[in-house]
Amino acid sequence: MAAADLFKGVYPFLATPFTDGQQEFDEARLRAHIDELIEIGKVHGITALGSTGEFALMSEDERRRVADTTIDAVRKRVPAVIGTAAISTKVAVALSKHAERAGADAIIVNPQSYWLPTEDELFDHYGAIARAVNIPIMVYNNPGTTKIDMSPKFIARLHKEFSHFISVKESSGDIRRVQNILELTDGKMSVSIGHQSLGLAAFATGATGWTTGIANTIPNLCVEVFEEAVNHRNFDNARKIFNRILPLCDFYAEKSLCRSVKAAAEIMDKPLGPPRLPLKRLSANDYKTLEKLLVKCGAIREKAHA
């Protein structure tokens, strides 16, 4: 795949399945989930080990197992992208090297920090990762979870210094940044929106990717929005589809992606196990609300309850 097409389209940020008792990584469930997303959901790529995948609650060995399993299960049908973020530069570099050796098509890296780094420290962190691998890198800006907000100017600086920073997952919630990043990099960095509720708005301002956890649940509908908005530029049709899923997007944003994705999977009889402790399942009332939203958007049929 040409670098210009990498990250274009809908790339679900995979939930990581865990077993119901011991909360161990469930490889078989992950493989089945990936098959369904690619063969039935028709997604354009697969991304593992992001916030939806609960990567921060895993050991380094577990993350390597998830990376290996993901790449093997994808089988080059679509690009496989692996998240390699870590607080320590040494660990982030090691995980990035492992992803490249394992056959990942690209990596995605967001800053992780207990001590907030200076801009120069953060630049050197990314620089060390860039020098360690030769595969494309997506920069992931998600200040809501990392508390680090990378400006479009900083991101453009990364691309100018290291050409294999080719894309940005922008999750700040500031839709103007899509245009800013495109302008500052002369369109050489693509922009993928991370916030599920801003997908359509981001496409209207130049984003060409949607890297989101909600695509675990409704991949076909996410793909339809993308196809209408980006490939066909038919925003009337795209808006009609997006308005169907927007209440579900807003619910996921409020309740958190990792909890919501796993609750939805359970409701849809495609279980991915529980969130890993200390995270817990949604409440019974939230399950009821979520089921209604899934019915409303057409993801499932209404169930008969005793």
Answer yes or no: 288 catalytic.
no
Q: Does the annotation count 11 as an active-site position? A: no
SS3 55: helix
What does the chain come to in residues?
306
Q: Which of 8, 11, 126, 140 is catalytic?
A: 140
Helix (H, G, I), strand (E, B) or coil at 56: helix
Considering just the CA atoms, what is the radius of gyration of the chain in Å? 18
**What angle, 0 to 180 degrees and rounded to 10, lies between the N-to-C axes of helices 176-184 and 152-161?**
30
Q: Give CA–CA dist 251/274, Å, rounded.
A: 18
DSSP string for 123-185: HHHHHHHHHH--S-EEEEE-HHHHS----HHHHHHHHHH-TTEEEEEE-SS-THHHHHHHHHT
**How deeply is 144 buried, as exposed, middle or buried, from its count of CB atoms within 10 A (0-12, 13-18, 19+)?**
middle
Backbone dihedral angles phi then psi of residue 210, each to the nearest 5 degrees: -140, 100
What 3-state DSSP class applies to 79? coil
Q: Which of 169, 252, 262, 303 is catalytic?
A: 169
Residue with tokens 């089945």, as numbered in its chain: 32
Cα Dmax for the chain: 62
If you search the block for the tokens 């929005």, which residue do you land on? 225
Residues 6+ apart with CB under 8 A from 106: 6, 7, 79, 81, 82, 135, 136, 137, 138
Catalytic positions, written as ranges: 140, 169
